[in-house]
Amino acid sequence: MPTLLEMPPEILTEIAGFVGFPEIFTLGQTCRDLKSFVDDLKLNHKLKSLSIRVSTDKMSLGCEQEDKKYSINFKKSDEDQFFKSLEQILKFQTSTLTEFFIEDPSPMPGFYCKMKIILESRPSLLKVYELSMKCKNQYQICSILSSLKPGTLERINISTLCWNKLKLNKVAKLDQWKEAKKLRIDGFTVSAHLTVLSSFQSIEVFSKTIFWTDLVMLKKLFLTTPNISRSCIIRYGCLIGENQWYKSLGPPTYEAFPCWEPYWKYFYPNSNGGFQIEWFYDFNDIRFETFY
């Protein structure tokens, strides 16, 4: 009686084409012959989303395919198999990943380097609509961002848990950054001029410390780009130069009850359009928004 292993390679490939994610990797764990067969496959799983989570004791891959969600967990000792599976998933993905999520709270040595190698080994740049990363520094963001297709990437979410200082000088030079439309930075102390955010139409930054001079530059950005519809929310732990910022805004307007927060309206020359700055002082929250 013939068995699966006695099937010619082209038939095994046909069968593998029907075995979805994650069963294809389970198949690779059954025996040596199928492991080497699965390792050599070039399958486009047409995933909708991919999440990669690395913690101190395990790694996991979560995928969404055909409206079904799957996940595979790897023990720390299975690091090689984890990267092999990741390579197989990423290398031949041709459709756009709606969401690509990477969480690496306890950095695995060489993780971003290996990710970069996998992404750069693809025949073309990976298409991603929304990139979300929980990471620690600019190098990690650059490693991933530089391997994604500019233009397709519209949303970037970067967060951390420990108020790391985040420089943005290198990442802001990437086309992927310049062509994205929506940015969210959460939990970092942003150590950069906020003008590096100027290419985004929607910005949300939660930073431990903000300097009043950065806010002035943001205001200038809104003043000098009247044709761009834009919104920007800055949340902060500490605003350095609070008084100077307040004075630089000019006289505020106060809404009638129930909203007591001050706001400032600026009109573009010869136009009914302009932008508004709202300062929710008690919530450490400043909002810029254009209106037309």
Partner 1 sequence: MSVENAPVVDVDEAAIPVEKKMYYRFESNDKKEFRVSELAIQQSETLNRLVEAMGYTSEDVENKPAIAIENIDGKTLKLVFQWCEHHKGEAIPVDDGSVPKIVEIPEFDAKLMDIDNGLLFKLIWAADYLNIVQLLNVSCKKVANMAQGKTPAQLRRVYLLPSDEEDEAAKRAAQEAQDPRAREVEEEFEERKRQGGNSFF
Residues in contact with partner 1 by CB under 8 A are 1-8, 10-11, 14-20, 23, 26-27, 29-34, 43-46, 65-66
**Which residue number, 2 or 251, has a Cβ lying nearer to partner 1?**
2
CB of 3 or CB of 253, closer to partner 1: 3
Our CB check for partner 1 shows the closer of 44 and 271 to be 44
Which residue, 67 or 282, is less far from partner 1 as judged by CB? 67
The rounded distance, in Å, linking the Cα atoms of 42 and 48 is 18
Toward partner 1, which CB reaches closer, 25 or 111? 25
Residue closer to partner 1, measured from CB, 43 or 215: 43
Minimum CB separation of residue 34 from partner 1 in Å reads: 7
Of the chain, the end-to-end C-alpha distance in Å amounts to: 75
Residue 78 or 175 with smaller CB distance to partner 1: 78
Closest CA to 192 of 210, 204, 174: 210
CB-nearer residue toward partner 1: 60 or 225: 60
Minimal distance, residue 35 CB to partner 1, in Å: 9
Q: Treating both helix axes as pointing N-terminal to C-terminal, what angle do 32-39 and 79-91 enclose, rounded to 10 degrees?
A: 40
- State in angstroms the smallest separation of the CB of 45 from partner 1: 5
Residue 7 Cβ vs partner 1, minimum distance, rounded to whole Å: 7
The answer to whether the beta carbons of residues 134 and 159 sit under 8 Å apart is yes
Distance CA 201, CA 260 (A): 28
- Residue among 97, 85, 289 at smallest CA distance from 203: 289
Buried b (16+ CB within 10 A) or exposed e, 133-152: bbbbebebbbbbbbbbeeeb
Closest contact distance (angstroms) between CB of 44 and partner 1 is 5
Residue type, 78: D
Cβ-contact 230, 290 below 8 angstroms: yes
